[in-house]
Structure formats: structure tokens, C-alpha cells
């Protein structure tokens, strides 16, 4: 490219007393660092560290959270997430297969399901399952009561998202795979079950893990259902203890528990995606 | 197959994709034990013709009978018919999530109901036949294209087919790997397998085929013994095609 600059151009640019691009970049970067340092110093000087520590990280309050924080709250969060994920996965697979069905009404039904549950707030579904359904059908008992309600609500919502993920995964399996299976005499169902779907699930492990992270956070919506002390999950547990101790530490610690799970899972997703990209 | 029933008999076959008519009336037979090579320019419909034999493509009109059974009859058990028709694809289409042995046994077990041991024994026989007895634990991604295609042939043979279809089996291979695959096909032909091969390998067609079929524009233009069709083609379109394929450096710009 330098050959495109004629001697005359070079003289003109060099003649002006302007900064070279390199010098300008260096100054710009210096300014950004300076702003950052100033901001840290100002925050550090203005913050009432004593107050912050007492409110957010009061160790005596934190100690009182154990062991229920782990044995009840975190455990319940995990149980709600996994049961919801299980229901969502099975339902999502069914909806995905309906979405790909050659029977048109199945496709319409699957589309309607997906649009319906993706278009509503998860909280509304929770209230519907937790409050609306028992009101409408007073005799109804969910298996596992609250656990069943939560699994149902989380499953209904996540199935809509997972159905689209699974459908995309199935369609990402090359057509030749189905053809090869069919030419070996497999029926469509056998070919899907033993050839296409196993490959589709390999493709969608990263997005499904991502969905699990979302579910893990959405399990906090249990807050809006009436649950017993033994059914509390992290968010409700943190809120209740914040009230009783008049301190923010329980909420802060509950938040840390979420991050303890979501950050490693997020890291895992990126690792899986990188490995998948390599394998292609 | 000692009787006179044709292995493949195609009558008045038409196939359209939307407005595009790919096959415009094909009449064609393959006798039991015969090796037929189908050649022709790309877009001539030869792959579609092959895919109509096992009904991967549904004919628009006409009949396709295999071993005396009308494949286009909606009441036949198509899966049962396909078990008897092996097919090898240009892109191999091995199952990437299964190792070589499982690639060869999965259909035997799920479709033919063979036990693990019997399926494994038949798979190993066929792997040995294609010269890959030592690769049964490998995954397809660990094999070269030529090895993958030989595994694909062994997979088809494991079902004990009476007829093999090959859809440009060497077109996706690096030139130095073509020979191994053609060698396996040649052995198969020598053993008396009925084969229908869509190929660009004129050397293979000349040496192995009992009959060569030249297709262009969705029709069979010329067919006969390879020494006639390939060496002394009668039709000008066959002559032009062969001139281009056999002497690619001497091609004249089209008038």
C-alpha cells in the first residue's frame, strides 16, 4: 500500500504539525487508564466501607445461614432446575418432533405451543400453575405438590425454547445421514432414534446447557408460590433471612451461590462450543 | 436369481423437481450378476436415476421393479426391499457418532435382528474384505476418505444385499485414494455382485463394466458393451462427452 502514496502526498502530511496515528493511539489509551484509576480512587474514597461490610458481608449473619443455605436452599434450587429441565427436555423433544411432522395439524399445534409459551412471561406461567390451576380445579394435586408445580411451570416454559433448539439440531444433521440409514432398511422412526437424534443432541449440548443456566435462574420465581420452609430455594431463602436479620448479607450470599453454579456452567458451554467448532 | 427376472427393470421413468424435468422417459434393465456403469455429463440425471431405483427419489411416473417387485407400489414393504439393495454414496455418509464396527452392526441388529456376536462376525468379515480389519475401533473422522468409502461399502455388504448401487463413489476422493475403492468394487464385480455404478471413472467402466449407459438431458442416449460405447461411440453427444473427459486439454470452445 505504501507505494500508492506519492512523494507529494507524503510531503503534505509530513509537513503539517499533526500527531502521528501511533502517538494519538498512545495518548487515547493513557487517557482511558487515567479515567479508570480516578474512578476507582473516587469510589474507594466515597464508599462507607464499614457500612458496606456490615450490610453485605456480615460474617456473623453469614454464619447463621449455614447449613440450611446449602442443605435446603441450594439443594432445592438444583432440584427445581433439574426436574424442570427434565420435563422441558421430554416435552421439548415431543414438540420438536411435532414441529417436523408430516401431519400438518401437529405442526400447527407445535408452532402455537412455541409462540404461546415464548411470548408469555415465565412469572405468569408460575402464577397460573401455582395459583390459577388449584383455583380452577380445587381437587387437583400435583405429584410432589410444590415440586411438581415448579417442575411443571419451568418445564412448560423451557420446552418451548428447547423445542426450537432441538428442531434446529435435528435439521443440522446432514440429510445424507437419514438417507444412509433408510437405504440400510431402517424405518423412519428407527433412523431418527438411532442415527439422527443422537447426532442432533451432540450438536445442541452447548445451547441446552445454556438453557439449564437460564432455568437455574428462573427457579427463583418459586418466590411467588406459597412454599414451606423446607421448600425454599436460594432467592426466597435469602429474602426471608434478610427480613429476619435486618441485613442484606443473606441476599448477597444467595447471589454468590447462583454464581458458584452459573459461572462454571457458562465456562463449560464455551469449552463445549470451542470443541464442537474444532470437530467440524 | 437363477431365473430370468431382471435385477432392475425400469420402464417409462419420468422424474421432475418442480418445473424441472430431470428424467424424461428412461427404459432400462440390469440383469442379475451384471455390472452396469452409467456415465454422462453432470446434470444428465444419472444420479437421480440411481436414486429412483431404491426410491430415495419418488418417480413422477413410470415403474421401477427390483427382483420382480414393483418399488413404486405404495403397498410394498419398502424398508424390506431396501435391505436387499446396498447403496454407496458420494459423501460416504458414515455415522460419525459410531465407530467403524458399530457403523456396520447397527442396521444388522436394529433391522435384521441379528445378535451382537453374529452381527460383529459378519461385520468383521466384510471389513477384512475391504482391507480394514484393523480399524474396527476407529471413528469415521479418523479415517481417510478412501478408508471411509471402503467402510461404507462394507456397511452395505453387511446387510447381505443382492444388488449394489454406487453413486459416484470416488468423486469426493483425493486422486491417490481412488484406486483402493475401485479395487474393492472390482473384487465385488468379480464375485458376481449385481452392480449399478454412476461414475466418472472411464477406466473402471472400460475394464469392469459389462455394459455402459451414456445419459444426457434426462435420456439414455447410447448403451452397449464398454468397448463399443467408450471406444467407438455412435452418437455425436457421446463422442463430444468422451472427448472432453478423455482429453480435457484438447477441448475446443463450443461453437
pLDDT above 70 covers a percentage of chain A that reads 93
**Least confident stretch, A143-147, B72-76, B111-115, B218-222:** A143-147
- Which pLDDT value is given to residue A139? 77
Three cell numbers written together for B67: 427382483
Q: What is the ipTM of this complex?
A: 0.91
How much is the mean pLDDT over chain A?
88
Find residues 190-249 of chain B whose CB sits inside 8 Å of chain A.
none
**What pTM, to 2 d.p., does this model score?**
0.81
How many H-runs (helices) and E-runs (strands) does chain B carry?
Answer: 9, 10
B69 bridge partner residues: B66
Task: Tell me, rounded to whole angstroms, the distance of Cα B217 from its chain centroid.
Answer: 20
Q: What is the mean pLDDT of residues B131-148?
A: 94
Q: Which residues are within 8 A (CB) of B82 and not within 5 positions of it... i.e. 6 or more apart? A: A182, A183, A184, A185, B54, B55
How far B10 CA lies from chain A's nearest CA (Å)?
19
Using CB atoms, pick whichever of A179, A184, A279 lies closest to residue B111.
A184
- % of residues, chain B, pLDDT over 90: 89
* Among chain B residues, CA nearest to A193: B110
CB contact under 8 A, A177 and B95: yes
Is residue B254 pLDDT above 80, yes or no?
Answer: no
Which has more pLDDT, A68 or B178?
B178
pLDDT tens, position by position, B27-56: 999 999 999 999 999 889 999 999 999 999
C-alpha cell at B90: 458420494
Which residues on B lie below 8 Å from A179 (Cβ)? 56, 89, 93
From chain B, the residues in CB contact with A174 under 8 A are: 91, 93
Spell out which residues of chain A touch residue B159, defining contact as CB-CB under 8 Å.
184-185
Q: List C-alpha distances in Å: B55 to A40, B51, B63, B164.
A: 71, 6, 11, 14
* Of B41, B92, B34, residue with least CA distance to B200: B41
CATH of domain A65-279: 1.10.3720.10
Confidence check: pLDDT of A92 > 50: yes
Burial readout A235-263 (b: 16 or more C-beta within 10 A, e: otherwise): bbbbbebbeebebbbbbbbbeebbeebee
Q: Which of B202, B207, B199 is nearest to B169 (CA)?
A: B199
Cell of B25: 422417459
In the three-class reduction of DSSP (H, G, I as helix; E, B as strand; rest coil), residue B131 is classed as: coil
When the pLDDT of each residue in chain B is averaged and rounded to a whole number, the result is: 92
**Are B117 and B125 in contact, with CB atoms under 8 Å apart?**
no
B89 vs A195: CB contact, 8 Å cut-off?
A: no
How do residues A235-255 score in pLDDT, each as one tens digit? 988 888 888 888 888 898 899
Q: Angle at which helices A104-119 and A146-172 pack, to 10 degrees? A: 120
pLDDT of residue A12: 54
Probe site for chain B from A177, A184, A278 (most B CB atoms < 10 A): A184
Residue A173 phi/psi, 5° resolution? -75, 125
| Distance in Å, alpha carbon of B95 to nearest chain A alpha carbon | 7
Give B 58-97 residues with CB within 8 A of chain A: 79-80, 82-83, 85-87, 89, 91, 93-97
Alpha-carbon gap: B237 to the closest alpha carbon of chain A (Å): 32
For residue A13, pLDDT beyond 80: no
CA B173-B179-B180 angle, 5° bins: 90
Three-class DSSP category at A225: coil
Say yes or no to pLDDT of A52 above 90.
no
Question: How many residues in chain A?
Answer: 280
Degrees, nearest 5: CA angle A163-A167-A173: 150
At residue B198, the 3 state secondary structure works out as strand
Measure Cα distances from B1 to A145, B5, B8, B31, B208 in Å.
66, 7, 12, 10, 21
Look up cell 419451568; give the residue. Answer: A154
- DSSP assignment of B6-69: -SEEEEEEEEEETTEEEEEEEEEEE-TT-EEEEE--TTSSHHHHHHHHTTSS--SEEEEEETTE
The residue behind cell 431404491 is B54
B117-134 pLDDT tens trace: 999 999 999 999 999 999
Q: Which residue has the cell 411438581?
A: A148
The mean per-residue pLDDT over the stretch A79-86 comes to 95
3-state SS assignment for residue A141: coil
C-alpha cell at B153: 461399502
Residue A64 pLDDT level (bands cut at 50, 70, 90): confident
Q: Which of A17-31, A74-88, B150-164 has the lowest mean pLDDT?
A: A17-31
**pLDDT of amino acid B133:** 94
With bands split at pLDDT 50, 70 and 90, how would you rate the model's confidence at B178? very high
Look at A184 and B107 and tell me if their CB atoms are within 8 Å.
yes
Q: For residues A190 and A181, what is the distance between their CA atoms, to the nearest angstrom?
A: 9
pLDDT at residue B207 greater than cutoff 70: yes
pLDDT at residue A136 in the model: 83
**Across the interface, which of B89, B111, B141 has its CB nearest the CB of A180?**
B89
Residues 6+ apart with CB under 8 A from B57: B15, B48, B51
A-B C-beta contacts closer than 8 Å: 60
Give the pLDDT of residue A141: 77
Q: In which band, very low, low, confident or very high, does the pLDDT at A14 lie, cut at 50, 70 and 90?
A: low
pLDDT of residue A59: 82
Please state the domain extents for chain A. 65-279
H/E segment holding residue A82 = helix A75-99
Tens-digit pLDDT profile for residues B62-74: 999 999 999 999 9
Distances in whole angstroms, Cα of residue B54 to Cα of each of A170, A244, B33, B74, B79: 24, 74, 18, 13, 10
Amino acid at each position: 500500500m505504501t507505494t500508492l502514496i506519492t512523494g507529494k502526498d507524503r510531503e503534505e502530511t509530513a509537513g503539517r504539525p499533526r500527531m502521528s496515528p501511533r502517538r494519538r493511539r498512545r495518548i487515547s489509551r493513557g487517557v482511558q487508564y487515567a479515567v479508570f484509576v480516578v474512578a476507582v480512587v473516587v469510589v474507594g474514597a466515597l464508599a462507607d466501607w464499614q457500612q458496606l461490610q456490615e450490610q453485605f458481608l456480615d460474617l456473623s449473619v453469614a454464619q447463621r445461614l449455614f447449613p440450611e443455605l446449602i442443605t435446603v436452599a441450594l439443594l432445592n434450587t438444583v432440584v427445581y432446575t433439574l426436574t424442570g429441565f427434565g420435563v422441558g427436555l421430554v416435552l421439548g423433544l415431543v414438540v420438536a418432533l411435532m414441529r417436523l411432522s408430516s401431519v400438518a395439524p401437529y405442526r400447527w399445534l407445535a408452532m402455537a405451543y412455541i409462540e404461546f409459551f415464548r411470548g408469555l412471561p415465565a412469572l405468569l406461567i408460575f402464577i397460573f400453575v401455582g395459583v390459577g390451576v388449584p383455583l380452577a380445579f380445587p381437587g387437583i394435586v400435583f405429584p410432589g405438590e410444590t415440586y411438581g408445580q415448579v417442575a411443571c411451570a419451568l418445564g412448560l416454559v423451557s420446552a418451548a425454547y428447547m423445542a426450537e433448539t432441538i428442531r434446529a439440531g435435528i435439521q443440522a444433521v446432514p440429510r445424507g445421514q437419514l438417507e444412509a440409514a433408510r437405504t440400510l432398511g431402517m424405518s423412519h422412526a428407527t433412523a431418527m432414534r438411532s442415527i439422527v437424534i443422537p447426532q442432533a443432541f451432540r450438536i445442541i449440548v452447548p445451547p441446552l446447557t445454556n438453557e439449564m443456566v437460564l432455568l437455574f435462574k428462573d427457579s427463583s420465581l418459586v418466590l411467588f408460590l406459597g412454599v414451606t420452609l423446607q421448600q425454599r430455594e436460594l432467592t426466597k431463602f435469602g429474602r426471608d433471612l434478610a427480613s429476619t436479620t435486618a441485613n442484606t448479607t443473606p441476599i448477597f450470599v444467595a447471589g454468590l451461590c447462583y454464581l458458584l453454579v452459573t459461572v462454571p456452567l457458562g465456562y463449560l458451554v464455551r469449552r463445549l462450543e470451542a470443541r464442537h467448532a474444532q470437530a467440524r | 436369481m437363477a431365473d430370468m427376472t431382471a435385477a432392475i427393470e425400469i420402464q417409462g421413468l419420468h422424474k421432475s423437481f418442480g418445473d424441472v424435468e430431470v428424467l424424461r422417459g428412461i427404459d432400462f434393465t440390469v440383469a442379475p450378476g451384471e455390472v452396469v456403469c452409467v456415465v454422462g455429463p453432470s446434470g444428465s440425471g444419472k444420479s437421480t436415476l440411481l436414486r429412483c431405483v431404491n426410491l430415495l427419489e419418488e418417480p413422477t411416473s413410470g415403474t421401477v421393479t427390483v427382483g420382480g417387485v414393483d418399488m413404486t407400489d405404495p403397498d410394498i414393504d419398502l424398508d424390506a426391499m431396501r435391505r436387499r439393495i446396498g447403496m454407496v454414496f458420494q459423501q460416504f455418509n458414515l455415522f460419525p457418532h459410531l465407530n467403524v464396527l458399530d457403523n456396520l452392526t447397527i442396521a444388522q441388529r436394529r433391522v435384521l435382528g441379528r445378535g451382537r456376536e453374529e452381527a460383529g462376525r459378519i461385520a468383521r468379515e466384510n471389513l477384512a474384505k475391504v482391507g480394514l480389519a484393523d480399524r474396527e475401533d476407529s471413528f469415521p473422522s479418523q479415517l481417510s476418505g478412501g478408508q471411509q468409502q471402503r467402510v461404507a461399502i462394507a456397511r452395505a455388504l453387511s446387510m447381505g444385499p443382492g444388488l449394489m448401487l454406487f453413486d459416484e463413489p470416488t468423486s469426493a476422493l483425493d486422486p491417490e485414494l481412488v484406486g483402493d475403492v475401485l479395487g474393492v468394487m472390482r473384487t465385488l464385480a468379480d464375485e458376481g455382485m449385481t452392480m449399478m455404478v454412476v461414475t466418472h471413472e472411464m477406466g473402471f467402466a472400460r475394464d469392469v463394466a459389462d455394459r455402459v449407459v451414456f445419459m444426457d438431458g434426462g435420456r439414455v442416449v447410447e448403451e452397449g458393451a464398454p468397448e463399443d460405447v467408450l471406444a467407438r461411440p455412435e452418437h455425436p453427444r457421446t463422442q463430444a462427452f468422451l472427448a472432453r473427459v478423455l482429453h480435457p486439454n484438447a477441448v475446443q470452445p463450443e461453437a
